[in-house]
């Protein structure tokens, strides 16, 4: 693009664009002067390269994993908040017999089974390392 075409471009003649470019230059000048702007360009290149190499299936798999992690965080946080609220209203902690009696609750057994299964998998992975 020639200098005349660049100057005649309507976007570059817009005062808001000129003000925005001046602001961008002011903000990036210290990065450019210190040579740190190169790191930002390298990071953008790395992200761009990885996006270019991802096929549709890999992108969907990555997105699904991110969604599952967010759902797990939300579910876990919710469970902790609810359990904390229930525990705060107790005057005294339950005794051993009461705790043993809670094993009759199917939800408690389901959660214990999940916890024990998770620990089993972690132990198996630790053994294989």
Closest CA to 41 of 51, 33, 31: 31
Residues 5 and 48 in one domain: yes
**In contact, 40 and 31? CB cutoff 8 Å:** yes
Closest CA to 76 of 40, 39, 33, 111: 111
Residues 22 and 10 in one domain: yes
Number of domains in the chain: 3
**In contact, 91 and 97? CB cutoff 8 Å:** no
Rounded to an integer, what distance in angstroms lies between the CA atom of residue 7 and that of residue 20?
A: 16
What SS3 state is found at 1?
Answer: coil
Residues 49 and 75 in one domain: no
Residues 45 and 21 in one domain: yes
- Whole domain around residue 6: which residue ranges? 1-53
- Give per-residue pLDDT as tens, 13-26: 788 888 898 999 99
Residues 82 and 111 in one domain: no
Residues 4 and 44 in one domain: yes
Residues 123 and 101 in one domain: yes
- Give per-residue pLDDT as tens, 48-94: 877 777 777 777 888 899 899 999 999 999 999 999 999 999 999 88
């Amino acid at each position: 693009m020639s200098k005349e075409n660049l100057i005649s471009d309507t976007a570059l003649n817009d005062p808001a664009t000129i003000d925005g470019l001046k602001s961008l230059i002011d903000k990036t000048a210290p990065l450019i002067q210190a040579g740190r702007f190169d790191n930002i360009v390298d990071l953008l290149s790395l992200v761009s390269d990885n996006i270019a190499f991802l096929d549709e299936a890999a992108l969907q798999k990555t997105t699904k994993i991110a969604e599952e992690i967010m759902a797990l965080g939300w579910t876990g946080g919710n469970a902790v908040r609810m359990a904390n609220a229930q525990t705060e209203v107790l005057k005294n902690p339950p005794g051993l017999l009461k705790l043993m009696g809670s094993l009759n609750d199917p939800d408690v057994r389901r959660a214990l089974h999940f916890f024990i299964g998770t620990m089993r998998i972690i132990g198996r992975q630790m053994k294989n390392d």
